[in-house]
Amino acid sequence: MIQVNDICKEVLIILSYFNDDLIKKIPTRVFKKLSELSVGSKIELYIDTEKDLDKQNISEESKDLISLIYYNFIADENEKNRLMKLWNDNENIYQEKLREKYNVDNIFQNKTQESKSLEKTHLPNTAMTKYKKETLFYKIKNFIKYILNKN
């Protein structure tokens, strides 16, 4: 799991690639706090400015923090409302996918199917043979057979 100081360092590095108009909109206190929180981070980044920001090799947490900075200091009111709705929609889609993946019914359904297929595969090999209990009669019969064969 990525540490907070690494997230802050990654975000600080990305901010150094923002154009001046964007930088001017972000309050100085944000830079100061990020700088304070990034103490001890040894993270180094290679920023490929030919690629979009969302394609940069940075952590998901850093992308979230950059988005939060955008929401708070760069976006206008309309943009903020639109973003909030998008974040909620994305959350719902994500939760729905999680529900599908970890649905309890699906797990049992899958288990039943799995066990059925297992049975099909292994039944011929593991079929049980009928066990005949040796009665007194059989014991005497087998003993006589043994004596006769011996002679």
Partner 1 sequence: MLATHPETFEIMTKHNINLFHGTKFDALHNILNYGMNSIDELSKKGITISTGERWSRTNGKRDFISFTDDLDTALGYASIQNSQDKQNNSDFSILIGISSDDVKQMKTCSVHSEVPEIGVMNNVPLEYIKFIAVPENKVEYVRKLVNNPNINVTSIDMNDKFYYIDDMDTIYYNTSKIKELMEEKEKAKTFDSESVKKLAEGRKKSGILDVYRKIKNKIKNLINNRDKNR
Interacting residues toward partner 1 by CB under 8 A: 4, 7-8, 12-24, 26, 28, 31-33, 35-40, 44-47, 49-50, 52-54, 60-61, 63-68, 70-71, 74-75, 79, 83, 86-88, 90-91, 93-94
Dihedral angle sign, alpha carbons of residues 92, 96, 99, 101:
negative
In the bound state with partner 1, the residue whose beta carbon lies nearer, of 36 and 114, is: 36
Tell me the angle at which helices 4-15 and 60-69 cross, rounded to the nearest 10 degrees: 60
Residue 138 burial (C-beta neighbours within 10 Å; 0-12, 13-18, 19+): exposed
In whole angstroms, the minimum distance from the beta carbon of 106 to partner 1 comes to 22
In whole angstroms, the minimum distance from the beta carbon of 112 to partner 1 comes to 32
In whole angstroms, the minimum distance from the beta carbon of 11 to partner 1 comes to 10
